[in-house]
Structure 1
Amino acid sequence: MTITTNAGARVAAIQMISAPSIAENIATAKRLIADAAQQGANLVLLPEYWASMGMHENDKLGLAEQIDIGPIQTFMAETAREHQIWLIGGTLPMAALVADKVLNSMMVYNPAGERVKRYDKIHLFSFTKGAESYDEARTIVEGTEVTTFDAPFGKVGLSVCYDLRFPELYRAMGDCTLIVVPAAFTYTTGKAHWEILLRARAIENQCYVLAAAQGGRHQNGRTTWGHSMLIDPWGEIKTVLAEGEGLVIGDIEPNYLSGIRENLPALKHRKL
């Protein structure tokens, strides 16, 4: 078990309806993060593609940043330092070695504004139903490394959106106190599977799950499912925001987590 202290933490997930404009999205994120910090959040999670939801899937190629260089990363570092929070930056497009593609990357900043971890999304979404069609592999290079980091309250596992459908990824993280899932689930797949998959990951890993979603009708015509939420290790939804801009906030309680694992020691019973 990787709980490092008996002290808990207050965590928040930001829900957005991101536009193509980075400046516009930064202004929205700045306001919502400040609100979360004012309510006592120690850790704040932004949604996938928070900085830009382009009019075309190729738009992200022109926004790709180099490591620690660019307006998106600068904003996240400065904001984490300003509010003295752990800030997990949803995802942003990062330069890749493959021509005409980017990495869909999550950056983690500590309260000093230092980047302490990076996760490149491993599983790339593909879905076709009627006129609705997506294939992230056209513009994104898949990541390869399972990634976690140690926060003061315990280990945090990093995953993004479509990763949620692959439970073996979460097993590979080891015993986490919190798993985060920034996402931009489609309305169709979100309505069918979002909540049940999030609750399953919390139950089977006996940990908290914090999910930050895109949640509404975007300028590019896409509709995202929303329903950002915090789920406890028993699989109960502690707080949820169905749609629209806003945030969900709640507490990580290490003693409650420890009790769940002691009463039902499923993690100790693993055979594979």
Structure 2
Amino acid sequence: MTRVAVVQSCTGIDPAANADALTAALGRAADGGAAIAFTPEMTGLLDRDRARAAACIVGEDEDRVLATAREVAARHGLWVQIGSLALRAEDGARSVNRGFLIDGAGAIRARYDKLHLFDVDLPGGESWRESSSYLAGERAVVAETPAGRLGMTICYDLRFPDLYRALSDAGATILAVPAAFTVPTGEAHWHVLLRARAIEAGAWVIAAAQSGRHADGRTTYGRSLVVDPWGEVVLDMGEGEGVGFAEIDAARIDEVRARVPALRHRRPIPRVEIAA
């Protein structure tokens, strides 16, 4: 068994305040006996005002929240999966939505840039164009952690099962889905999609989420989840900020995959024939 912590946040527009909130949350995770803590998408900054946000988006070496996470991880010997940070891309022209895996010594073990960008017009007037500001990632990432082999994804990636198939084919036993889901899409799809990804992969799913009314005016759905490989929800954090805990049992993966050996039965998808 490995104890994990899930951080549910209401990230604002001030990176310094967000770094302080992260320090407190990770301290609670360590005090609660977690080996690894998971944080939501956009842990360092959540601001839909592009001009204002641009002044706070910097490169990795300058990012205050990333530096804080590494320092706190080293202080407590705590692994941290930062769901994502808004960072300046290496070419300096646009930004990336980048997740990190940090080990208990504060070293960065893995990076993942969000593959699928959320460009959509929602009923009720909400409109999002991530591709206007962010570059899409180009690779899937799996990394070893104290809880198992972790497949890293971010928010809208959840709707693309081929990514999760690739991660489980690469040996992932835990799938991280940090998010800042809108309320309408969360109410409709959050639980069912996360349970589906867990069932399809026979893997644990850990989804740390943003929750509440944010300083930039948006509202996020919350309800951070931990789902076991059978699709059972073992942690649902509801609304509001906080730190939750769950026990990850590697034996549960073997048990479920023996009962439903779908991973062993996977075949390459053949060419689709369109019948006349």
Tell me if 1:220 matches 2:216.
yes
Bigger mean CA offset, 129-138 vs 142-151: 129-138
Mapping of 1:188-203 within 5 angstroms? 188-203=184-199
Deviations, residues 53-84 of structure 1 (Å, cap 9, x unaligned): 12513433332332344312211110111111
Deviations, residues 210-236 of structure 1 (Å, cap 9, x unaligned): 000001111111010000011000000
- Counterpart selection for 2:78 from 79, 85, 102: 85
| Aligned 8 A contact 2:18 2:65 in 1 | no
Q: 1:185 to 1:256 in 2, by over 3 A?
A: same
AA in 2 matched with 1:150: E
| Aligned 8 A contact 2:44 2:86 in 1 | no
Q: Distance between the aligned counterparts of 2:48 and 2:116, measured in 1?
A: 23
Q: Distance between the aligned counterparts of 1:90 and 1:57, measured in 2?
A: 21
Which residue in the other structure is 1:167 paired with? 161
| Aligned 8 A contact 2:113 2:136 in 1 | yes
Mapping of 1:111-122 within 5 angstroms? 111-122=104-115
Which residue in the other structure is 2:271 paired with? none
AA in 1 matched with 2:17: E
Identity %: 37
Mapping of 1:1-272 within 5 angstroms? 8-54=1-47, 56-97=49-90, 100-128=93-121, 129-173=123-167, 174-272=170-268
Q: Distance between the aligned counterparts of 1:73 and 1:65, measured in 2?
A: 11
Root-mean-square deviation over aligned CA pairs: 1.4
Helix, strand or coil: the match of 1:185?
Answer: coil
Q: Distance between the aligned counterparts of 2:179 and 2:18, measured in 1?
A: 16
Q: Distance between the aligned counterparts of 1:244 and 1:263, measured in 2?
A: 37
Helix, strand or coil: the match of 1:63?
Answer: coil
Structure 1 residue 93 displacement after superposition: 1.7
Which residue in the other structure is 1:4 paired with? none
Structure 1 residue 91 displacement after superposition: 1.0
Helix, strand or coil: the match of 2:54?
Answer: helix
Deviations, residues 150-198 of structure 1 (Å, cap 9, x unaligned): 1134210000000000000011112321111110000111110111100
Helix, strand or coil: the match of 1:124?
Answer: coil
Aligned length: 265
Which residue in the other structure is 2:273 paired with? none
Bigger mean CA offset, 65-74 vs 126-135: 65-74
| Aligned 8 A contact 2:59 2:90 in 1 | no
Structure 1 residue 248 displacement after superposition: 2.1
Bigger mean CA offset, 155-164 vs 53-62: 53-62
Q: Distance between the aligned counterparts of 1:175 and 1:267, measured in 2?
A: 10
| Aligned 8 A contact 1:230 1:248 in 2 | no
Q: 1:28 to 1:97 in 2, by over 3 A?
A: closer
AA in 1 matched with 2:226: L
Bigger mean CA offset, 222-231 vs 168-177: 168-177
Structure 1 residue 41 displacement after superposition: 0.7
* Unmatched segments (≥5 aa) in structure 2: 269-276
